[in-house]
Amino acid sequence: QHGVTHVVDASGQRYEEGAYAEYMHVDVRDELDADIGSLLAGTTTFIRTALAAGGAVLVHCEAGKSRSAAIVAAYLMASEDLSAAAAVESVRAAHPRADPNAGFRKQASSRRRRFSMSCSAAAGGARRPEKAPRRSPRVDRARARRTHTHAGLARRAGTSTV
């Protein structure tokens, strides 16, 4: 359990769920042409809601490097107003083997503006300004460590990939 209150499961596997957490299952293959983009607003809202309530989120897939990393990167894009490349680098800083497949990265890059606004609207928030102030890479890495931990352990009220 390790303090996990919410789980985003992108593994495609079915298993016995723990009573200690709320689950969101997303069905997406780890293939270049798989449409992960249509799921990201929902996963980001789920993560944002869990964190706002003081929860800790575990995001996992089968290998712990592509689908889960893409989901956490999308969350960082929406919550920290990062570019797709900066979000992936933030995830990698906390979880070095993270490597969303090229199709997922391309979808994130091409949908960044629409995605950021749709996630904000889905969460009931106002739209972000077009050019929000950027945080330094050091702050981004610190935020990634809080929101994306190694080995599936949630630290502080953050998210993790496995």
User: Among this protein's residues, is 119 annotated catalytic?
Assistant: no
CB of 85 closer than 8 Å to CB of 140: no
H helices of 17-158, in order, are 37-52, 67-80, 84-94, 102-122, 137-147
Q: Quote the CA–CA distance of 156 and 130 in Å, as a whole number.
A: 30
DSSP secondary structure string for all residues of 57-83: EEEE-SSSSSHHHHHHHHHHHHHH---
H-run or E-run covering 132: none
The residue to which tokens 């929860």 are assigned: 55
State the catalytic residue, choosing from 47, 61, 86, 91: 61
Q: Specify the 3-state DSSP secondary structure of 156.
A: coil
Residues with catalytic function: 61
